Amino acid sequence: MAAYLWTTWGNMVAIEAGGANGVTGGAQAVEVAMGKWAGVIVAAILAWVFLTATVVYNYAFARLLFVSGLEKRLPHQFGKVNRNKVPANAVILQTVIAAIITVLVFFVIGAGGGDSNKPFYGLYAGLTIVWCISTALLFLDIFFAKRAAPAKFAEAQRISLGWLYLCGAVGTVINILAVLFIFVGSWYPTGYPTLAEWNTWMVGITAISVITGILIYAISQRTRRGKTDEQLLTELAPAVGAGGGGGK
Is residue 214 included in any domain, yes or no?
no
Helix, strand, coil distribution of the chain in percent, nearest 5: 75, 0, 25
Is residue 78 included in any domain, yes or no?
yes
On whether the CB atoms of residues 118 and 188 are closer than 8 A, the answer is: yes
Q: Which whole-number Å values give the CA distances from 33 to 4, 12, 17, 36, in the listed order?
A: 18, 12, 15, 9
Is residue 19 included in any domain, yes or no?
no
Q: What would you report as the CA-atom Rg of the chain, rounded to the nearest whole angstrom?
A: 22
What confidence tens digit (pLDDT) does each residue in 13-54 have? 888 877 777 677 788 888 888 889 998 999 999 899 989 998
Whether pLDDT at 235 is above 80 = no
Q: What predicted TM-score, i.e. pTM, was given to this entire model?
A: 0.71
Total domains present in the chain: 1
Q: What angle do CA 119, 125, 128 make, to 5 degrees?
A: 135
Place 103 in a pLDDT band, splitting at 50, 70 and 90.
Answer: very high
Is residue 178 included in any domain, yes or no?
no
The parent domain of residue 240 ranges over: 1-11+25-114+228-248
Is residue 202 included in any domain, yes or no?
no
Nearest to 182 by CA among 130, 132, 125, 127: 125
Is residue 32 included in any domain, yes or no?
yes
Distance of alpha carbon 39 from alpha carbon 35, whole angstroms: 7
On whether the CB atoms of residues 74 and 222 are closer than 8 A, the answer is: no
DSSP for 107-139, please give it.
IIITGGG--THHHHHHHHHHHHHHHHHHHHHHH
User: Which of 237 and 95 is assigned the larger pLDDT?
Assistant: 95
Is residue 217 included in any domain, yes or no?
no
Is residue 164 included in any domain, yes or no?
no
Whether pLDDT at 172 is above 70 = yes
